[in-house]
Structure 1
Amino acid sequence: MVDIRVKICGLRTVADVEAVAKAGAAYMGLVFYPKSPRNLSLPEARALALAAPLGLAKVALVVNADNAALDAITEAMPLDMLQLHGHESPERVAEVRARYGLPVMKAIGVADEGDLADLMEYSLVADQLLIDAKPPKDHALPGGNGLSFDWRLVAQRRWLRPWMLAGGLTAANVAEAIRLTNARQVDLSSGVETAPGVKDAGMIRAFMAAVAQDGPPILR
């Protein structure tokens, strides 16, 4: 069985971290975006980062953050990756990668085939790509909206860097999404929540079981 790596984003409590780690996720996402219901203060995020067990990668999600904001985040807690989820240019991605010495994941919103060119451009400067559903115009949140896109747009495609599929994934559809796209990494937030920002351990376990195609969740 192919090992599918899972990122669960928008954690807000130590219990969330424990649930994600126990279920076998590879990455945990910490959100630094005031408009998000999953936004964390630096002390809150530091507590979660320090609670993460060895092997669970800690990812900081930011949206068009300047150097001052990134300095504060990276100095406050141990991190394994930065996720740029705004309108950062390829030049800005390269700058962030060089300045902080951390792997950078760039999120790209996809709605139609015209958006795919950005994936190749950003694959030249980012360490990983996150392919997400493009939010509606003027929407407050760039991700975490529970929206999906036509997965056939990225089916069996290859880029220069590892990539992660996101956008509206749930326990009910993730196996089909993986089958259609051949994704080896998936990301979700709202798909394991009972309300915005409220993670559910049972939904996390169900999602991980579905990723394993009805196999048991991997326990750490």
Structure 2
Amino acid sequence: MSHRTRVKICGVTRREDALHAARCGADAVGVVFVPASPRAIGVDEAVALRGALPPFVQLVALFMDSDRDAVSAVCERVAPDLLQFHGSEDAAFCTAFGLRYIKAVAAADGTDLEAASRAHPSAAGLLIDGHGTGEMGGSGQRVTPGALSGASTLPLVLAGGLAPGNVADAVRQFRPWAVDVSSGVESAPGEKDPRKVAAFIEEVGKGDDQ
């Protein structure tokens, strides 16, 4: 039996986009709590979006160097299934909220997967994004195989520059546990294109089959 690559649609700001992603087969929907991001969402909006999700579709809350109180407030009000940290957060910070988490690693400057795994041994996985250290996700920069070294002990989530036209090749090349897409399925920042979302998830399946 072949592995099925999981799919997360990130940077969702609208209820209808979350529901469409779920109907197309997405395993998770990501909401961004980074004020500087064009895909940032408010807590009240996230609560409404969370309540609309069908069973077995996870909600992931994304942060980047947020303070502890801000993360705690989202955890209390929104009740996400997973946290995703994109900044310089250490393992002690990431584990302080009693929820499983994913740690993002910037790949543009080179990534030692073994070292990242050691730094976050209790993470649910590592998200490998194509941007540089200190930069925000959703930039559309792709990960190259040469940027990765060492072996991860954690499941890998591939992000950065993925789109319907290249995700099948990326799945075949990297064989990640999951893929994460934001700008590659948008008509505008925070607005998902229904056709692109459906095509992206279909192409992930093709990558698995091949």
Q: TM-score, normalised by structure 1?
A: 0.87
Counterpart in the other structure of 2:142: 148
**For residue 31 of structure 2, what is the amino acid of its counterpart?**
L
Q: Residue 18 of structure 1 aligns with which residue?
A: 19
Matched, 1:200 2:193: yes
* 3-state secondary structure, aligned to 1:11: coil
Match of 2:102 in 1: 105
- State which of 118, 123, 129 in structure 2 corresponds to 1:132: 129
User: Mind listing any 5+ residue stretches in structure 1 that lack a counterpart?
Assistant: 216-220
Q: How does 1:67-146 map to 2 (within 5 A)?
A: 67-93=68-94, 97=95, 99-113=96-110, 115-116=112-113, 118-135=115-132, 141-146=135-140
Question: What are the Cα deviations for residues 182-212 of structure 1, in whole angstroms up to 9, with x where unaligned?
Answer: 1121001001001211111110000011101
Structure 2 residue 191 is matched with structure 1 residue 191: no
> Aligned ranges for residues 38-53 of structure 1 at < 5 Å?
38-53=39-54
1:181 is the counterpart of 2:177: no
**Cα distance between partner residues in 2 of 1:119 and 1:194:** 34
Q: In the superposition, relative to structure 1, how do residues 41 and 114 fare at CA in structure 2: closer, same or farther (>3 Å)?
A: closer
* Match in the other structure for 1:218: none
Give, in angstroms, the shift of residue 116 of structure 1: 3.9
Cα 1:65–1:74, aligned 2, differ >3 Å: closer, same or farther? same
What 5-or-longer segments of structure 2 have no aligned partner?
none
CA deviation digits over 1:128-165, x for unaligned, max 9? 11011123x77xx510111112134449x642221200
CA RMSD of aligned residues (A): 2.2
Counterpart of 1:211 in structure 2 is 204
Q: Tell me the matched-pair count.
A: 208
Q: Is the 8 A contact 1:90 1:121 kept in 2?
A: no
Residue 8 of structure 2: aligned partner: 7
Identity of aligned pairs, percent?
A: 38
Alpha-carbon distance in 1 for matches of 2:48, 2:202: 28
Relative to the length of structure 2, the TM-score reads 0.91
Cα distance in 2 between the residues matched to 1:90 and 1:160: 15
